[in-house]
Every structure is written in C-alpha cells, then in structure tokens.
Amino acid sequence: MSLGPIMLDVLGTALGAEDIRRLKHPMVGGVILFSRNFESPEQLRALTAEIQSLRSPHLLIAVDHEGGRVQRFRDGFTRLPPMRELGIVWDEHPAKAKTLAHQTGYVLAAELRAHGVDLSFTPVLDIDFGASSVIGSRAFHRKPHAIADLAHQLMLGLREGGMVAVGKHFPGHGFVRADSHHEVPVDERKFADLEMEDMETFRQLIGFGLAGIMPAHVIYSRVDEKPAGFSSIWLKEVLRGRLGFQGVIFSDDLSMAGAHVAGGPAQRAEAALKAGCDMALLCNKPDDADELLANLRFVMPAVSTARLLRMHGKPHPASMAKLHEDPHYLKAVHAVGSIGFHEGNLALDDPTTGKTG
C-alpha cells in the first residue's frame, strides 16, 4: 500500500483500535506525535515501532520538535534552545553561531531518529519582526541573511543526524500579530515586500536543497483572498514556479482556525491538496479525522507519492545507548548545553493536546 496524502495524530502513548483503523486507511500517509504521546524514551520507541509495523512502506512519523517552547519530548532528550538564542550568538560571533546551529540540528535529528521518528517540522524560517504572537522566539533573527545562514547549518546538522528539514511558514508568518491557531491573520503587504524580505530565506534554503515546506494559514490579501496553504497562486505559481521548489509541501494543521475558511474537514483537505500540497495535516480532532477519511475524494499524483517516500529518515542508532558512546554526539550535546536561555522563551506547550504549526 502506498502512502496517502493525509497525516493524522494518535490519541495516547500506545495505539488503540480507533488509531489503528484510521492509520490503515489508504488515504493516510503519516502520523504526527505530540507531548501527550510521550511518557518515556522506551515507550516512544515502542510506539513508533508499532506505527511502522502497520504499513509498508511505513507511515511517515513526524513531530514539531524545534527547541525552546516547541519541544514535544523532554525527559531523556537534550534540552534544545529557542532558535532566537542562536540569532543572539550570531550578532556577536557569526561563525560560532553557525557551528552551534549545525550541532543543534545534529542532536535534534540523531535523538529523534534513535526513537524511530522520521522528521521534525523545523526550521522556522519566519522573520522576527517583533510582532507575531505565535512565532516570537521560534524565529532565528530579524535579518533574512542571518536566518538563511543559521537555518542552512541547522539543515546540514539534521541531515548528518539522518533527517531532512521542513521550513515553515511560507511565505512568512512573522509580520502579522494574530495567531493562526485561533484567528485568520491577514497580511496586507505587497508581493514585492514579501519577496524582498520574508521569501528570501525560503529562496536561499531551496537553493541549499530544502526537502519540505509548510505554508502559513495567513491571507496575503494583495496576492490572493485565500490563505497561502489553500492558494494555487502561492503554492503552484510562486513556490513551485518562481522559486523552483521540488520537495514536499505539507499543509499546516487543518484544525486551526486559520484553515476553517475552506469549509469542513474533507473540504479543507481537498482544497489544500488541489492547491498544491502533497500532504495535509489534521490534528487533535478525531471526529473530524473520521469525517475527512469518509468523505475525501482525491487521486494522489504519482509525483507526490515519490516526494513523500524521500522524507523517510535515514538509518539511525539502535538505541540512545549507542549515541552516548559516540564522542561526536557527546561533544555536540555539550555545545548545545552551552547556549543561553533567556526569560520568556521556555513556556511549554499544553502537554495534553499540543498544537502543530
């Protein structure tokens, strides 16, 4: 059975009958994990092994594991800094910051791969305009070239750890104050302004081989009346056409308020996929997931199937014990631990539900 175009979540720390039923549906191609799915490193490894056993090729297993306040797994994992901390280092010591970004990406990926997770939705490529209520310290910097420098090194570190990178939130979520989890943000800037600043980091990372991109649930009113994740103008004409992106486009969570403009669950998924997404995410709403799977009618293009298969993680250590015997890993962990953590950056997400995006 090939991978389908839908990514869902699961309810708890082990698969229940309802989870298994949903994950075996041919429209499903991936699973996203949250803090509620984590109890211990051993339990997480058992959960991912159970998910992998359901299908061949196995379902993509993803997580939002960026660092700072967006780090789903903590006990037994290295505490990762918010990306803003790397930007702070970059202001004084750019070369040191790039080395630390590489080491952070390597530790992030190596630890997740050792637990059977294929990819993390990282890095955040949004510009820190100092306005967004949801981006904040998740962004590297205000300057596009600083973001590109640091995100490129983080991407190389992820690759070293066995994982590809997924940049978000195209074409840029950092300018609007509204949180698309709860509202429908509208960015009224001209396309030329977006292209000159926000899109520049995406353009550079695409040139460096970025494997995945997640668009924003933001309406850029001077370009299209639809949010970017539902807009063929943004996804097909700009991202695929103008920027030449050939990787996977993942929708942001279709349960977020910013996605509800497209209708019910199946209508949202169909709109995202027809606009150009290869995979659509629906999280934290089991009833909506059932409605989507019952009603979605979509023939997945062969090119999307091929793109998704390239997102599986590369070979990884059999256990964290082997990583702890690796001097290279231990040196990187020590370096990551040296990165400063400033106040306001460490508030945790809701451990019960969590949010994606």
Instruction: Decide: 298 and 273 in contact? Cβ < 8 Å.
Output: yes
Separation in Å, CA 222 to CA 138, 186, 188, 234: 26, 10, 6, 12
How many beta carbons lie within 10 A of that of residue 225, not counting itself? 12
DSSP string, 67-115: ETTEES--TTSPPPPPHHHHHHHHHH-HHHHHHHHHHHHHHHHHHHHHT
Indicate the SS3 state at residue 235: helix
Indicate the SS3 state at residue 212: strand
Structure tokens given for 338: 């040296």
Instruction: Decide: 304 and 293 in contact? Cβ < 8 Å.
Output: no
How many beta carbons lie within 10 A of that of residue 343, not counting itself? 6
Please list, in sequence order, all residues whose beta carbon lies within 8 angstroms of the beta carbon of residue 187, skipping any fewer than 6 positions away: 172, 175, 176, 194, 218, 219, 220, 221
Q: Choose the catalytic residue: 65, 169, 181, 316.
A: 181
DSSP string, 236-301: IIIIIIIS---SEEEEEETTSGGGGGG-SHHHHHHHHHHHT-SEEEE-S-HHHHHHHHHH---PPP
| 9 carries an active-site annotation | no
How many beta carbons lie within 10 A of that of residue 246, not counting itself? 12
How many beta carbons lie within 10 A of that of residue 208, not counting itself? 13
| 253 carries an active-site annotation | no
Q: Choose the catalytic residue: 19, 64, 149, 252.
A: 252
Residue numbers annotated as active site: 181, 252
